Amino acid sequence: MPKPVIQSTSILKHSLHTVGITLLLVYAAFTTAQSRQPVHLPVPGGLVLLAMESDHRPEVQFEGRRVMVLEGDSQNQWMAVVGISLAHLPGTYAVQVDGLKSISFDINPKDYETQYLTVTNQRQVNPTADDLVRIRREKAEMDRTFVNWDDSADPVTAFILPTRGVVSSSFGLRRFFNDQARSPHSGLDLAAAEGVAIVAPARGKVTATGDYFFNGNTVLLDHGHGLISMYCHMSRINVTPGDIVAAGELLGAVGRTGRVTGPHLHWSVSLNNARVDPNLFLAE
Ligand SMILES: [Zn+2]
């Protein structure tokens, strides 16, 4: 597990001219008090944890989207948790705090491995025009869920594994289906026998379920504060939209619906609409 390090001297530079709030590097305080905080990994597909000080809960935005903010253990201390998508290039970025000031941070490069997959169903590699209409409709439904903001409950910062399986494809793989380049792997694949239970990795609200073209039988869970998780290729779905589930509660079962080469759970985790490595939220 990489040791979280808050980099960026620019944070200090910005904090010298504060407007209403004071931003400080107080990372150490969080590592001891919140043992179940997500892992800081400033790469595409990773998470950036930014400590700050404020006399109120700061509203933090990244590229116009609200970002999860955790309460610190001592007074006036906060930690923004920023999801970084696989599409972000390495470089310097910034979050906005209360619309008043910005804190910059660096995203470092990461080389993800390449994976070649063979899919026998040609339509799942080169969909027909009708399929594309369906794919676009389903994508819109999923996208709406990924951008939802619900802060009615405390933030969820750690997950348990949603199923008993072995990792068959890690997050971020650069993918080729039948030798054609496709989007990188935006989740974690856990291979298990068909019918093995899939459970909620944390408290959440079921926001969508469906039988999607690529993802097969799918459940989307909203954990609040921009943290959304998705379960795909299920053989069975045991929940309906609107259900509130607790950690460990049954969502359905592992299957092989949609575009698959064998039974497995594809598990995606999204933070501020960035698909990030689910491992970063797994309790050690
Ligand atoms: Zn997958």
Alpha helices in 1-121, H assignment, sequence order: 9-15, 27-33
Least confident of 85-94, 111-120, 135-144, 195-204: 111-120
Q: What is the 8-class DSSP label of residue 125?
A: T
Outline where the chain has alpha helix (H): 9-15, 27-33, 129-146
Q: How far is the CA of 4 from the centre of ligand 1 (A)?
A: 27
CA–centroid distance, 229 to ligand 1, in Å, is: 13
Q: Where are the domains of the chain?
A: 9-107, 114-281
Give yes or no on whether 9-107 and 114-281 have one common fold. no
pLDDT(185) > 80: yes
Determine the distance separating the centroid of ligand 1 and the alpha carbon of 37, expressed in angstroms: 25
> Does 69 have pLDDT greater than 90?
yes
214 or 7, higher pLDDT: 214
Statement: residue 122 has pLDDT above 90: no
Q: Ligand 1 centroid to 60 CA: how many Å? A: 31
Model pLDDT, residue 29: 37
pLDDT of 146 higher than 90: yes
Q: How far is the CA of 186 from the centre of ligand 1 (A)?
A: 7
From the CA of 88, how far away is ligand 1's center (Å)?
Answer: 20
d(C-alpha 182, C-alpha 180), whole Å:
6
Q: How confident is the model at residue 136 (pLDDT cuts 50, 70, 90)?
A: very high
Residue range 9-107 in CATH 2.60.40.1590: yes
Q: In this predicted model, which residue has the larger pLDDT, 23 or 181?
A: 181
Q: What superfamily in CATH does domain 114-281 come from?
A: Glucose Permease (Domain IIA) (2.70.70.10)
CA 68–ligand 1 middle distance (angstroms):
25
Centre of ligand 1 to C-alpha 220, Å, is 15
Residue 178 confidence (pLDDT): 85
Q: What is the pTM of this model?
A: 0.85
